[in-house]
Structure 1
Amino acid sequence: MSDPIGSTGTTDPYAPGELDLHLIGEGRHEELWTVLGAQVTESGTSFRVWAPNAQEVQVAGEWAGWDGSRHPMTRLDGSGVWHVHVEGAGVGSQYKYRLRGADGQWADRADPLAQYAEKPPSSASRVWRSEHQWGDDAWLEARRTSHPVDEAMSTYEVHLASWRKHLGRSPEDSLYSWDEIADALVPYVADLGFTHVELMPVMQHPFGGSWGYHVTSYFAPDARFGDPDGLKRLIDRLHQAGVGVILDWVPGHFATDEWALARFDGTPLYEDPNPQRGWHKEWGSHIFNFGRHEVRNFLYANAVYWLEEYHADGLRVDGVASMLYLDYAREAGEWSPNIHGGRENLEAVQFLQEMNATVYKRVPGIVTIAEESTAWPGVTGPTSNGGLGFGFKWNMGWMHDTLDYAAKDPLYRSHHHGEMTFSLVYAFAENYVLPISHDEVVHGKGSLLRKMPGDRWQQLANLRAYLALMWAHPGKQLLFMGCEFGQESEWAESRELDWWLLEHPEHAGVHAMVRDMNATYKASGALWGRDNDPAGFAWIDANDAGRNTFSFVRRSPGHPDLVCVANFAGHPHEGFRLGLPSAGTWTEVLNTDAEAYAGSGVGNLGSITATAGDHQGQPAYADIVVPPLATLWFRKDV
Structure 2
Amino acid sequence: MDRERLLSGVHHDPHSLLGAHPVPGGTLVRALRPHARRVTVLTGDGTGGETGGKAGDRAGGGRTALLPEGDGLFAGVLPRLAEDDHHRLLVTYGPAGDPEPGAERETEFETHDPYRFLPTLGDLDLHLIREGRHEELWRALGAHPMTHQGVPGTRFTLWAPNARGVRLTGDFCHWDTTAHPLRSLGASGVWELFVPGVGAGTLYKFQVTGPDGTATLRADPMARRTEVPPATASVVTSSRYRWQDADWLARRGERPVHEAPFSVYEVHLPSWRPGLSYRQLAEQLPAYVRDLGFTHVEFMPIAEHPFGGSWGYQVTGFYAPTARMGTPDDFRYLVDALHREGIGVILDWVPAHFPRDAWALAAFDGRPLYEPGDPSRADHPDWGTLEFDYGRAEVRNFLVANAVYWCEEFHIDGLRVDAVASMLYLDYSREHGGWTPNEHGGRENLDAVAFLQEMNATVYRRCPGVVTIAEESTAWDGVTRATHHVGAGGFGGLGFGLKWNMGWMHDSLGYMTHEPVHRKYHHHEMTFSMVYAYSENYLLPISHDEVVHGKRSLVGKMPGDWWQRRADHRAYLGFMWAHPGKQLLFMGQEFAQGAEWSQAHGPDWWLLDPSYAAEPDHRGVRLLVRELNTVYRATPALWERDCVPEGFAWVDGGAADDNVFAFLRFAGDGEPLLAVSNFSPVVRTGYRLGVPDTASGLWTEVLNTDAARYGGSAVGNPDQLKAEPEPSHGRGASLVLTLPPLATVWLRPE
CA distance in 2: counterparts of 1:68 and 1:88, whole angstroms: 18
Aligned residue number for residue 627 of structure 2: 516
Is 1:441 the equivalent of 2:547? yes
2:250 aligned counterpart, secondary structure = helix
Q: Report if aligned partners of 1:589, 1:634 keep a CA contact under 8 Å in 2.
A: yes
1:612 aligned counterpart, secondary structure = coil
1:543 aligned counterpart, secondary structure = strand
- Summarize deviations over 1:197-256 as a string: whole Å, max 9, x none: 000000000000000000000000000001001110100000110100000000000011
Q: How does 1:66-85 map to 2 (within 5 A)?
A: 66-85=175-194
Among 586, 602, 608, the alignment partner of 1:502 is 608
Amino acid at match of 1:215: V
Amino acid at match of 2:196: E
CA distance in 2: counterparts of 1:14 and 1:616, whole angstroms: 76
Is 1:566 the equivalent of 2:677? yes
Q: Report if aligned partners of 1:524, 1:560 keep a CA contact under 8 Å in 2.
A: no
CA distance in 2: counterparts of 1:315 and 1:291, whole angstroms: 22
2:178 aligned counterpart, secondary structure = helix
Is 1:93 the equivalent of 2:193? no
Among 124, 136, 141, the alignment partner of 1:31 is 136
Aligned residue number for residue 629 of structure 1: 742
CA distance in 2: counterparts of 1:605 and 1:90, whole angstroms: 69
Q: Report if aligned partners of 1:144, 1:363 keep a CA contact under 8 Å in 2.
A: no
CA distance in 1: counterparts of 2:548 and 2:197, whole angstroms: 48
CA distance in 2: counterparts of 1:629 and 1:254, whole angstroms: 44
Aligned residue number for residue 118 of structure 1: 227
Aligned residue number for residue 166 of structure 2: 57
CA distance in 1: counterparts of 2:605 and 2:683, whole angstroms: 32
Distance apart, 1:277 and its partner CA? 1.1
Aligned residue number for residue 236 of structure 2: 127
CA distance in 1: counterparts of 2:204 and 2:167, whole angstroms: 10
Aligned residue number for residue 534 of structure 1: 645
612-621 vs 468-477, greater mean Cα deviation = 612-621
Among 717, 727, 745, the alignment partner of 1:614 is 727
1:546 aligned counterpart, secondary structure = helix
Is 1:149 the equivalent of 2:254? no
Is 1:17 the equivalent of 2:122? yes
CA distance in 2: counterparts of 1:533 and 1:333, whole angstroms: 42
Structure 2 unaligned regions, length at least 5: 1-14, 17-114, 486-491, 610-614
- Summarize deviations over 1:398-422 as a string: whole Å, max 9, x none: 0000000001111111111111000
1:316 aligned counterpart, secondary structure = strand
Is 1:410 the equivalent of 2:509? no
1:515 aligned counterpart, secondary structure = helix
Aligned residue number for residue 708 of structure 2: 595
Q: How does 1:251-266 map to 2 (within 5 A)?
A: 251-266=351-366
1:500 aligned counterpart, secondary structure = helix
Amino acid at match of 1:262: A
1:78 aligned counterpart, secondary structure = helix
Aligned residue number for residue 545 of structure 1: 656
Structure 1 unaligned regions, length at least 5: 1-7, 166-174
Among 236, 240, 245, the alignment partner of 1:136 is 245
CA distance in 2: counterparts of 1:72 and 1:498, whole angstroms: 52
Distance apart, 1:146 and its partner CA? 3.1
Amino acid at match of 2:421: A
Distance apart, 1:540 and its partner CA? 0.4
Is 1:185 the equivalent of 2:285? yes
Amino acid at match of 1:62: D
Distance apart, 1:11 and its partner CA? 9.6
Aligned residue number for residue 169 of structure 1: none
- Cα RMSD, aligned residues only: 1.3
Distance apart, 1:605 and its partner CA? 2.6
Distance apart, 1:492 and its partner CA? 1.8
Amino acid at match of 1:632: V
Among 341, 356, 361, the alignment partner of 2:456 is 356
Q: How does 1:416-431 map to 2 (within 5 A)?
A: 416-431=522-537
Q: Percent identity?
A: 57
Is 1:391 the equivalent of 2:391? no
Amino acid at match of 2:233: A
Distance apart, 1:558 and its partner CA? 3.2
CA distance in 2: counterparts of 1:143 and 1:499, whole angstroms: 32
Aligned residue number for residue 65 of structure 2: none
Distance apart, 1:145 and its partner CA? 3.1
1:102 aligned counterpart, secondary structure = coil
Aligned residue number for residue 302 of structure 1: 402
Q: How does 1:297-376 map to 2 (within 5 A)?
A: 297-376=397-476
Among 210, 216, 236, the alignment partner of 1:107 is 216
CA distance in 1: counterparts of 2:116 and 2:406, whole angstroms: 32
CA distance in 1: counterparts of 2:212 and 2:642, whole angstroms: 55
Distance apart, 1:611 and its partner CA? 1.7
Distance apart, 1:364 and its partner CA? 1.2
Aligned residue number for residue 196 of structure 1: 296
CA distance in 1: counterparts of 2:720 and 2:702, whole angstroms: 8
- Work out which of the two has the higher radius of gyration on C-alpha atoms and give 1 or 2: 2
Distance apart, 1:556 and its partner CA? 1.5
- Summarize deviations over 1:168-211 as a string: whole Å, max 9, x none: xxxxxxx2210111111110001000000000000000000000
Among 232, 252, 270, the alignment partner of 2:370 is 270
Tell me the TM-score normalised to structure 2 length: 0.82
Distance apart, 1:85 and its partner CA? 0.5
Tell me the TM-score normalised to structure 1 length: 0.96
Aligned residue number for residue 469 of structure 1: 575
CA distance in 2: counterparts of 1:31 and 1:98, whole angstroms: 25
1:422 aligned counterpart, secondary structure = helix
Aligned residue number for residue 44 of structure 2: none
Distance apart, 1:527 and its partner CA? 0.4
